[in-house]
Amino acid sequence: MKTLLFKYFHQIIILSSLLGVTFLIISCSQQINSAVPHENASAPEVYFCPKEDCSKVLEKSIALANSSVHCAFYDIDLQNVINTLAAKSRSVDVKVVIDSSNQQGQIKGNALREDNNNQLMHNKFCSIDGKIVTTGSFNPTFNDNSRNNNNLVVIYSKNLAGNYNEEFNELWNGKFSKGEKVKNPVVYVNGIEIQNYFCPEDGCTSRIVSEIKSARRSVYFMTFTFTNKDIAGALISKKEIDIKGIFDAGQAGSNFSQLERLSGTGMNVKKDTNKYKMHHKVFIIDNETVVTGSFNPTASAENKNDENIIIIKDKVIAGSFLKEFDSLWG
């Protein structure tokens, strides 16, 4: 009888322990999930220049500001955007960081900072009122708006804008090419998962490689300059699925371009036909995930330049980028 009671008691202890572990796992999982911000806001917007006037979209976004406009631009020469920044500076906190190689007096005063070393400050983003983010491949220049193929994404998210504001503050305070890792890279906006990372601190190459390796059906890409061997290798590792790529014709013959390496495996890649520039930096995964931003897949972008990428997991957004891809593919 004692032996039987001991056996039952022992089983109860084991069952209680297992239940405790299960509860702990569920509890931790819930804590992790609840730590990811969820927001309800206006749907993300995507624009493609030169078919659409990206400068007007950026101008409108800046004009909405009630408290702050913090922008990091590799280059800027569009007078309508410059005028809007100047007008808003009379009533809100306007600050702009620009790459020193492109500062030619188009913006003046204490609201301007230039990068201070030899790498590129290659971002093209604004954080507006701590709740709106504009980013993509689009520089507010005449060429990027009227000649080159580009994209501009507008996202309404306090959490995402907070990430970009932290990055902006690092740049504003002279911390170029060596910032802190993004603390909260994932946010859900209207149920859409959005991730963002800053290079070189967040390792943008590894993020893109991970998305490519997760592909089940297809990867389509449009890249201005593509010399990154790791990303090319990830594409080659998935060559059994549908892969297509467009290279800017002017950059395709540059040193270390991965065009010949990829085409040599039988991959379906080609040069663009825009007589100016195909300036996108885009990967479309399974027609449901998009990677875009300022990041060209190059060693400099990964290791030296100040860059950003945004990963949007949404079929509608992916569909918009796929239409752009198809129009350039021909």
Sign of CA dihedral 37, 43, 49, 53: negative
Q: In this structure, what CATH number is given to the domain that contains residue 145?
A: 3.30.870.10
Asked if 204 contacts 302 with a C-beta cutoff of 8 angstroms, the reply is: yes
59 shares its domain with 141: yes
pLDDT at 109: 77
Measured distance CA(79)–CA(266) in Å, rounded: 45
Identify the band that residue 108 occupies on the pLDDT scale cut at 50, 70 and 90: confident
163's tokens = 């990430």
75 shares its domain with 158: yes
Contacts of 318 by beta carbon, 8 Å cutoff, 6+ apart: 284, 285, 287, 288, 289, 290, 312
130 shares its domain with 55: yes
Measured distance CA(185)–CA(166) in Å, rounded: 12
The tally of domains found in the chain comes to 2
131 shares its domain with 50: yes
260 shares its domain with 324: yes
244 shares its domain with 325: yes
52 shares its domain with 110: yes
153 shares its domain with 232: no
65 shares its domain with 123: yes
Comparing 109-118, 209-218, 231-240, the range with the smallest average pLDDT is: 109-118
311's tokens = 């990963």
Model pLDDT for residues 134-183, shown as the tens digit of each residue: 999 999 999 999 999 999 999 999 999 999 999 999 999 999 998 999 99
Residue 316 domain boundaries:
199-329
- Cα–Cα distances (Å) from 160 to 48, 105, 145, in that order, read 22, 31, 25
Q: What is the DSSP string of 10-23?
A: HHHHHHHHHHHHHH
pLDDT at 21: 40
